[in-house]
């Protein structure tokens, strides 16, 4: 077993469960390709490349869990969902995971479907749903946008961590030294701290981009964001 790899290493989950999640991840990514093509334009395409590069960099911050068999790290799903939308965002995260596994040996290649499901699909989807909800409920200010990015980041990281717990329950093959409840608690506790760190990074990055080029923030299309005491800054594009 590769104990140095990020994400889920080979051998942690059995072959049949890994195969099911590989098929699910492939189908989800195919849907993302079809839907993402509708979003890509001259503004979004270069932003997607920058987002993928940023996520690759932040995911290099790795925190071992259970003697290195599983690891925790920043995910970037919320950042991707906010800046380039859920479809392209999920593809950005997936590309990072594939490159890490194939080129750098980070995460088991046989476990790619599991990792993509947790981090690219589940994490990004949860983040985007929260962003869509919070942008309707919170004030359309820079502070409201920052809170939205922070909360979406924390919750998406927690959701991805519990995705692994479900997968382990379905087909775990390695004794991680605790029962299912202990595993869920440990993963949640570690990833809560990671989520807070990711939330701060995401909120800072999104607010910075929104102040300078709100038209580059996918989640703000059709919305306005205002700083306290200043008129609203219009966001480009139609509502999504």
Q: Greater confidence, 73 or 236?
A: 73
> 């995910």: which residue's tokens?
75
Report the C-alpha gap between 176 and 69 in whole angstroms: 8
pLDDT band of residue 106 (cuts 50, 70, 90) is: confident
Report the C-alpha gap between 59 and 56 in whole angstroms: 5
- Summary mean pLDDT of the chain: 84
Q: Output phi, psi for 184, to 5 deg.
A: -60, -40
* DSSP result, 91-124: HHHHHHHHHHHHHS--S-GGGHHHHIIIIIIIHH
Average pLDDT over every residue of 97-111: 86
Q: What is the pLDDT of residue 231?
A: 45
Count other Cβ atoms within 10 Å, centred on residue 219.
28
Instruction: Check: CB of residue 93 under 8 Å from CB of residue 124.
Output: yes
Report the C-alpha gap between 219 and 205 in whole angstroms: 14
pLDDT band of residue 226 (cuts 50, 70, 90) is: low
Q: What is the pLDDT of residue 29?
A: 97
Q: What is the pLDDT of residue 230?
A: 46
Instruction: Tell me which fold the domain 15-234 belongs to.
Output: Arp2/3 complex 21 kDa subunit ARPC3 (1.10.1760)
Q: For 177-202, how does the pLDDT look when each residue is reduced to its tens digit (9 = 90+)?
A: 778 898 899 888 888 988 888 899 99
pLDDT higher than 60, residue 1:
no
> 């993402």: which residue's tokens?
36
Instruction: Check: CB of residue 54 under 8 Å from CB of residue 29.
Output: no
| Closest by CA position to 197, among listed 58, 70, 7, 96 | 58
Q: What is the pLDDT of residue 43?
A: 77
């Amino acid at each position: 077993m590769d104990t140095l790899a990020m994400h889920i290493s080979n051998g942690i989950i059995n072959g049949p469960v890994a195969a099911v999640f590989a098929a699910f991840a492939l189908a989800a990514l195919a849907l993302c390709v079809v839907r993402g093509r509708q979003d890509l334009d001259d503004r979004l395409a270069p932003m997607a490349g920058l987002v993928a590069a940023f996520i690759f960099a932040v995911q290099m911050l790795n925190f071992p869990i259970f003697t290195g068999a599983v690891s925790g790290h920043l995910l970037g799903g919320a950042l991707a969902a906010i800046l380039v939308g859920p479809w392209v965002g999920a593809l950005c995260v997936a590309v990072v995971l594939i490159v890490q596994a194939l080129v750098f040996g980070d995460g088991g290649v046989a476990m790619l479907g599991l990792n993509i499901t947790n981090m690219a699909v589940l994490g990004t989807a949860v983040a985007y749903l929260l962003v869509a909800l919070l942008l309707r409920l919170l004030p359309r200010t820079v502070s409201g946008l920052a809170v939205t990015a922070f909360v979406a980041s924390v919750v998406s990281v927690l959701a991805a961590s519990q995705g692994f717990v479900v997968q382990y329950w379905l087909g775990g093959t390695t004794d991680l030294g605790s029962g299912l409840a202990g595993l869920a608690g440990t993963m949640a506790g570690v990833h809560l701290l990671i989520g807070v760190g990711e939330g701060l990074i995401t909120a800072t990055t999104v607010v910075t981009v929104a102040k300078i080029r709100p038209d580059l923030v996918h989640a703000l299309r059709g919305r306005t964001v205002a700083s306290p005491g200043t008129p609203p800054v219009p966001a480009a594009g139609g509502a999504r």
